[in-house]
């Protein structure tokens, strides 16, 4: 009998610093550190309770972009160390930088995130409809977090002894805004494996925002999430490492980075919504391995496009598991060729997940090319959005009949419904 943990709150809290780190500081830090951590935990709890109202506000927000036009409109506010949102407007789109580094970093980070999504993936802001990008800096006093609340981004200044200001890490902004993208697309539930996928997707695109802004190849990138966030004196380099999960920090106050890098070390826990910030290390490592395995130069190109296509894939369910997501990444990798698919399959194998074929009906597709030779049962078709697939070599006459249908459909520009997976075609209708 299996047990599924039930959470009273399965929505995305979407804070960059997971609760177990703050709880560790609240337990083991100095008096000042404990006070700051406890205040941050209290504020995070308040954010969660406010989220429903904020989501309603989002539905009423004015997204002014016309259909199809990319619309980048950033607005940065300061909370002036209060917790009122959004605060006082301090910089709007097109205005130059000022003397406040947090304002400048927030403005640039939101812009870099928008630019990655628009230039590489053709996405028009978070909601793909030109949603304004709003950020508030100087939130609270010594607030040790940054979060996305479905309407805007919010950045604390950090307490200065555990964490630095949260605008210092551009990938943090990419991470948090990507929670908005996931909320507008796959809507992955924020618990257990779908929640860890939700976190991982934010880490993936957060890292890609950073890599693209720095002009780094996959091999050059540090693959750290939140590098620079930890104050001097803390034994660690970042919040997480996608390249080597579990190695980002090991500190007397923070504890040791708990992320696993393989399914054999999957952490079963009820804390952190079922370990969403912990087990995300597994799909994080898979993406890193895929980006390196695919080769080329930039991770945001082929690897990023495969993950982005998967995020938009209607077959991703709100409660998708690692296995289901992995299968779909391999399926989406087909668009980029057999080598890309093989790299994705190998990447998931590297974290203990064996990709399985996805068999599904696909409707009203064009047959773009067909191929055969005089060898027995060797018929192939290139079906729209699928790539080359071999007809299942079950019987000679059966292959011939299916091949004749596909050839006829191509020759006379007729659509087909095909029952296929990543490698073979099993059935077809000509329609």
| Chain contacts with another protein (rule: CB under 8 A) | 369-379, 396-397, 399-400, 403-404, 407-408, 410-412
CB atoms within 10 A of CB 266: 18
330's tokens: 């391999």
Alpha-carbon separation of residue 202 from 225, 235, 384, 395 (angstroms): 10, 24, 30, 47
58 touches 150 (CB < 8 A):
yes
Q: Which is nearer to another protein, 20 or 380 (CB)?
A: 380
Name the residue nearer to another protein (CB basis): 115 or 408: 408
CA distance 198 to 194: 6
Of 38 and 366, CB closest to another protein: 366
Peptide bond into 86 cis (omega under 30): yes
Minimum gap (Å) between residue 380 Cβ and another protein: 9
SS3 assignment, position 136: strand
Nearest Cα residue to 393 out of 416, 372, 412: 372
Please, is 375 exposed, middle or buried when counting C-beta atoms within 10 Å of its C-beta (0-12, 13-18, 19+)? Answer: exposed
What's the DSSP call for residue 236?
B
Vertex 344: Cα angle to 342 and 349 (nearest 5):
95
Residues 144 and 87: beta-carbon distance below 8 Å:
no
Closest distance between another protein and the C-beta of residue 359, in Å? 23
Catalytic residue numbers? Answer: 176, 277
**Residue 69 burial (CB count, 10 A):** 9
What beta strand segments (E) does 248-335 contain?
250-251, 255-256
CB of 331 to another protein, least distance (A): 24
Cα distance between residue 341 and residue 386, in whole Å: 12
- The least CB distance from residue 406 to another protein, in Å, is 9
Radius of gyration of the chain (CA): 24
Q: Which is nearer to another protein, 94 or 374 (CB)?
A: 374
CB neighbour list of residue 53: distance below 8 Å, 6 or more residues apart? none
Structure tokens at 48: 């969660």
38 SS3 class: helix
C-beta closer to another protein: residue 246 or 379? 379
Quick one: tokens of 225? Answer: 């999430």
Min dist CB 342 to another protein, Å, is: 23
Question: Which of 265/401 has CB closer to another protein?
Answer: 401
* Residue with Cβ nearer another protein (3 or 375): 375
**Element housing 176 (H / E):** helix 170-184
Which residue's CB is nearer to another protein, number 269 or number 378? 378
CA 216 – CA 136 distance, rounded (Å): 28
């Amino acid at each position: 009998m299996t047990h599924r943990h039930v959470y009273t709150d399965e929505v995305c809290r979407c804070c960059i610093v997971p609760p177990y780190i703050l709880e560790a500081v609240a337990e083991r830090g100095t008096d000042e550190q404990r006070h700051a951590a406890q205040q941050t935990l209290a504020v995070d709890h308040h954010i969660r309770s406010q989220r429903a109202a904020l989501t309603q506000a989002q539905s009423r927000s004015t997204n002014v972009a016309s259909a199809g036009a990319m619309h980048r409109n950033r607005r940065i506010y300061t909370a002036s160390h209060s917790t009122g949102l959004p605060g006082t407007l301090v910089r709007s789109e097109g205005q130059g930088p000022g003397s406040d580094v947090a304002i400048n970093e927030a403005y640039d980070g939101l812009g870099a995130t928008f630019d990655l999504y628009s230039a590489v993936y053709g996405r028009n802001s978070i909601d793909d409809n030109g949603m304004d990008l709003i950020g508030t800096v100087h939130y609270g006093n010594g607030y040790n977090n940054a979060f996305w609340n479905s309407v805007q981004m919010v950045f604390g200044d950090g307490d200065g002894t555990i964490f630095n200001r949260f605008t210092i890490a551009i990938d943090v902004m990419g991470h948090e805004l990507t929670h908005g993208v996931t909320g507008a697309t796959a809507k992955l539930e924020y618990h257990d494996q779908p929640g860890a996928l939700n976190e991982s997707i934010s880490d993936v695109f957060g890292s890609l925002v950073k890599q693209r802004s720095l002009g780094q190849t996959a091999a050059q990138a540090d693959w750290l999430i939140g590098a620079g966030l930890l104050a001097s004196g803390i034994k660690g380099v970042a919040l997480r490492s996608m390249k080597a999960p579990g190695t980002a920090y090991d500190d007397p106050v923070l504890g040791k980075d708990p992320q696993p890098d393989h399914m054999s070390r999957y952490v079963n826990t009820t804390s952190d919504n079922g370990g969403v910030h912990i087990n995300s290390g597994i799909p994080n490592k898979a993406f890193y391995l895929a980006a390196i395995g695919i080769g080329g130069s930039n991770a945001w190109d082929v690897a990023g496009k495969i993950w982005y296509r998967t995020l938009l894939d209607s077959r991703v369910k709100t409660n998708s598991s690692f296995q289901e997501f992995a299968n779909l990444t391999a399926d989406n990798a087909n668009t980029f060729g057999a080598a890309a698919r093989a790299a994705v399959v190998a990447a998931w194998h590297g974290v203990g997940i064996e990709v399985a074929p996805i068999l599904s009906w696909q409707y009203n597709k064009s047959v773009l090319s067909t191929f055969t030779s005089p060898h027995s049962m060797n018929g192939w078709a290139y079906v729209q959005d699928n790539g080359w697939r071999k007809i299942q070599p079950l019987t000679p006459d059966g292959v011939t009949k299916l091949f004749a249908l596909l050839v006829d459909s191509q020759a006379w520009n007729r659509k087909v419904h095909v029952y296929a997976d990543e490698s073979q075609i099993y059935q077809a209708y000509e329609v």
